[in-house]
Amino acid sequence: MTRPDDDPTRAARLARFQPLSGMAMPRFAGLASLMRLPVLTPKEAVAEPIDIGLFGIPFDSATTNRPGARLGPRGVREQSALMRLVNHATGVCPYELCACADLGDVPVNPADVVDTLARIEAFTAPLHAAGLTLLAIGGDHLVTYPLLRTLGRDAPVGLIHIDAHSDTTDSYFGGAKLTHGTPFRRAIEDGVLDPKRSVQIGIRGTLYARDERRWALDQGIRIIEMERVIAQGLPAVVTEARAVVGAGPTYLSFDIDSIDPAFAPGTGTPEIGGFTSREALFLVRGLRGLDLVGADVVEVAPPLDPSGTTALVGATFAFELLCLLAEARARRRG
């Protein structure tokens, strides 16, 4: 199958997959899609083919505190209408580099966690096999687990995980192995995530036990707690994170609760003392040049923030991640 990477009509293809311009239709009008991009079914995306598929995972049945992230994709879609074309800080226009489209939502089963995980894999596996880069909007953080299973099936990937929580707990209430606090432990156990090429940034908050993060540290995960971020400064943290993941394929997972609730209150498990939205932008932009093969934004819960601010933060970081993924794909294309 011919990919856009070597398609002689690439320029024409890119021209077809541009966001709806705010100069043609006001940004508050029209049907909502991620970044105002054209909407394709997964089968259409593979047949077209496109480079980067954006999609939603409207699922929060694995959350252990406040629900609401099932409405994250819808809220982010609406707020993403405020994103324009060019990243003012980096100069990147992802739509000049890659053909992108909104592929809709995974048809989740809100009453069955195990079935939903299987559905996410079934949705993403053909896209990955066809060579698409994936950018997912959750949903609670358990949705990252099947995404890692898809991307790490042939070889484990590295991880940059920006979050307030390590999400490497073994179980909840003594037996629940599949919650939004367990995805990275399950991924490591499955051999799809390389713990020695994994770094968690911004970790903070109270613990159930003093040794709660011991398992993650024993596996080789680098945990940069928020106190160390403050003590060392963001440039040092960026340098350390880049060194941990190195030049290999890496996944980037951005939990909205990494942001202080003063800036993003609409999330299930808020923790004070987090990043300002400006600091998080600096952090994410510092990851340019890594071999990023997929990404997600999770735990946006619009019902917990009727102002829409948290969804706007989520949409903004989705755009930032799209810029990183587009640049990484363009580098692999050479």
- Residue 128 annotated in ligand binding: no
Query: What is d(CA 35, CA 39) in angstroms, rounded to the nearest whole number?
Result: 10
- Residue 141 annotated in ligand binding: yes
User: What's the sign of the alpha-carbon dihedral 305, 306, 311, 312?
Assistant: negative
Torsion of CA 313, 315, 317, 321, to 10 degrees: 180
**In what side-by-side order are the strands of the sheet with 193-203?**
100-105, 52-57, 133-138, 292-298, 250-255, 157-162, 193-203, 222-225
Query: What is d(CA 273, CA 252) in angstroms, rounded to the nearest whole number?
Result: 22
Instruction: Give the max Cα distance, the chain.
Output: 58
- Residue 165 annotated in ligand binding: yes
- Residue 170 annotated in ligand binding: no
Query: What is d(CA 203, CA 297) in angstroms, rounded to the nearest whole number?
Result: 16
Angle at which helices 144-151 and 113-129 pack, to 10 degrees? 40
- Residue 102 annotated in ligand binding: no
Q: Which one, of 140, 135, 149, 152, lies nearest residue 179 by Cα?
A: 140
- Residue 105 annotated in ligand binding: no
Point out the annotated binding site: 141, 163, 165, 167, 255, 257
Point out the annotated binding site for Mn(2+): 141, 163, 165, 167, 255, 257
